[in-house]
Structure 1
């Protein structure tokens, strides 16, 4: 596949072991890849529908279009989520397409009293700036806002980390906590603590309709357009609200995408979004090829590559027959607890490619640069933290992001916290939320650069 070593300007590499264990001694990787394609037949795929906006077959060969179509997530039987809206070309980003009130069911999940839980379906743009749609859930607490200005909103970008639509927060809000829910995000009481402060909460399905797991451009657009959608839905109540973002792990990928894209994509939000707190940040996928390949994290790494490939089909074109079988199987609509299991095989992702040296190929470096968003300045102050004992999402990636943003003039804070990826989600959480609360109160952000 495509993730591997290599870094852009200002991103130093850590002293980590080589990510490419390769095939057994005496067998070259290209020979091993060729053998796989001889043993594993090419999957028989139905032709892609030429007019499907979900697949977007423009500029693709028929074979690649069929693969992209078969690699898309399955519908979940909910038209609000599944149906691609007509007429998106004529709408502005953030324009409301449809809403539904789910207070009767989701209100009970909030623990605290709420006035409304409203799901918004709105126009956004995909990674190629083509029309798309996204969904976000707005939670408004009971009672009037008594603080200064309009009610602040916490944008809670949960770590969806999934390939299937049933893994989205909107699904959990309408179906309850199931095995599909990413519990790390729900165990952190961000929504409940924000409601207790009288804040509204905006919970985003930031992977978009293609479930482009780990793709920061799609996620950034979806988040920024969710804020626009809230302002469009409540122009008299929330159009001048302060918005503050928070995200961990996959939610940090999304948050990082949003703050780096804001100046170019949604500049009118610059004075409304007051800060972003991010932890466990997978800011540089070239590092993850060292840390998540050929070990227990390989399944998650594979899922991220497949997710990015849904938006960037040049990745799909680099898959061999075995990878194509996996990408078009039922695993392509599952949550991380399912597609993570192949990590038990400890296989290097290299064996799923059809190109030599895939982890250090020109295609790989192109994807690293695009997803790292080299040199793009955050439009808002940042709070960044990472576990010092991280071995799957190394702290050097978050540190490099902090140093890059400091050099670009962003007001930023970095915190070293105790723990690996799962423990650090909790050890770094309280201070990050307190920092965000201060921004929503209008207190100027500290600068520790």
Structure 2
């Protein structure tokens, strides 16, 4: 469709400099000044083996994987995982004795499920999710509804996951976003079961929507397959904000191709502060106070997509194999005070305008994939780190594809908008779980 006011051939525009862009010679200077870290040869394991990588890159990929945290349920790769179907439970454990103190609300039982899922390359992987059962019998129609709470984990280490907090109690890495807003607690008091996903996968691939989307969809399968008498006919709804919205966004867009049987099971998905377009984030979060989070997300996606790791300079490699590889956002966000550009950690000039960047932007945006379930999308109008542009574009895309959707522009930047947009999104979710038809404002 032609745009009004535009006619004739349009001039080609040169790429605009990215905030904080450094001279092209900087990358060469860094690698001449700083030697690469000495790395042990890669050992082929299910966690690290992707096949066909040069020896140096394979060694680097092996070295940047998250360290074990001493909890075999979380750490250990299940044997013969490829023999299980997606969503099939491999193992489970009861963590009620530790979890009820952490949840701050009465619960009946908290089970952690370890199940087969699929990574971003189509290979067998495993996921972990915590199923929280409320006190009291469900007295509503049908089976007890389940709210899938995709929390903003935003972590590089396995002890950043909600499953670790629920099974080990309050600790130095407990995430305040697990409690505020109090989605889990309010859902339990409503009588719903809550499914809390570790959606970054065993490689802690923070911000990879394929890993997260698969993990969320297979967590729903695990509950339905594992507990058919209680949840075989339950309604499920998903919610996620910020990093949790990445998981929710991935799940709804991947559902038709990956888990089509869930299209009549999941009755809605609410997402706010939506990082739906990483190209926009490369402009809003690079070379400023948000750069620590931006660089950590790029690195974490590289755990699944090693072509990113191959473009790290020696400085970045040293950081990537250090203690920083296992930190949560409260720590890895601090280097944002240095306001580093991604150019400072790349071995090629202008990395955000490279073909590699364009490929990653395209893969993670998942453009043209229609959500088969109703959507509630909201974003702070005063956002500067995760601009409303991305959420609005997502809403418009889904409307154009024929999805059922609602968009709300709310007051505030990223933190404030998490609360100003919350009440209406919770009402919308409750209506879906109660069986009310979703409104469509497209």
CA contact 1:18–1:290 (8 Å) conserved in 2: no
- Offset of 1:175 from its aligned partner? 2.1
Unaligned runs of 5+ in 2: 1-14
TM-score calculated relative to the size of structure 1: 0.94
CA contact 1:75–1:82 (8 Å) conserved in 2: yes
Unaligned runs of 5+ in 1: 1-15
Which has the higher relative contact order, 1 or 2, with Cα contacts under 8 A spaced 6 or more apart?
1
Give yes or no for the alignment of 1:41 onto 2:40.
no
Q: Number of residue pairs matched? A: 428
CA contact 1:20–1:359 (8 Å) conserved in 2: no
TM-score calculated relative to the size of structure 2: 0.95
CA contact 1:19–1:291 (8 Å) conserved in 2: no
Map 1:346-357 onto structure 2 (within 5 A): 346-357=339-350
1:100-150 Cα deviation digits (max 9, x unpaired) = 001112123333322210000000000011000010000011111110000
SS of the aligned residue for 1:258 comes to: helix
Provide the C-alpha distance between the structure 1 equivalents of 2:109 and 2:39, rounded to a whole number of angstroms: 44
CA contact 1:116–1:141 (8 Å) conserved in 2: yes
1:143 to 132, 136, 139: 136
SS of the aligned residue for 2:133 comes to: strand
Look up the match of 1:110.
103
CA contact 2:268–2:374 (8 Å) conserved in 1: yes
Provide the C-alpha distance between the structure 1 equivalents of 2:356 and 2:104, rounded to a whole number of angstroms: 47
Look up the match of 1:383.
376
Look up the match of 1:366.
359
- Give the direction of change, closer, same or farther, for the CA distance of 1:264–1:91 in structure 2 (3 Å limit): same
SS of the aligned residue for 1:442 comes to: coil
- CA RMSD of superposed structures (Å): 1.2
1:232 to 208, 225, 250: 225
Give yes or no for the alignment of 1:21 onto 2:20.
yes
SS of the aligned residue for 1:123 comes to: strand
- Offset of 1:185 from its aligned partner? 3.6
2:425 to 416, 420, 432: 432
SS of the aligned residue for 1:414 comes to: strand
Map 1:4-19 onto structure 2 (within 5 A): 18-19=17-18
Where does structure 1 differ by over 3 angstroms across 4 or more consecutive aligned residues?
Answer: none
SS of the aligned residue for 2:306 comes to: coil
Map 1:168-247 onto structure 2 (within 5 A): 168-247=161-240
SS of the aligned residue for 2:147 comes to: strand
Map 1:290-309 onto structure 2 (within 5 A): 290-309=283-302
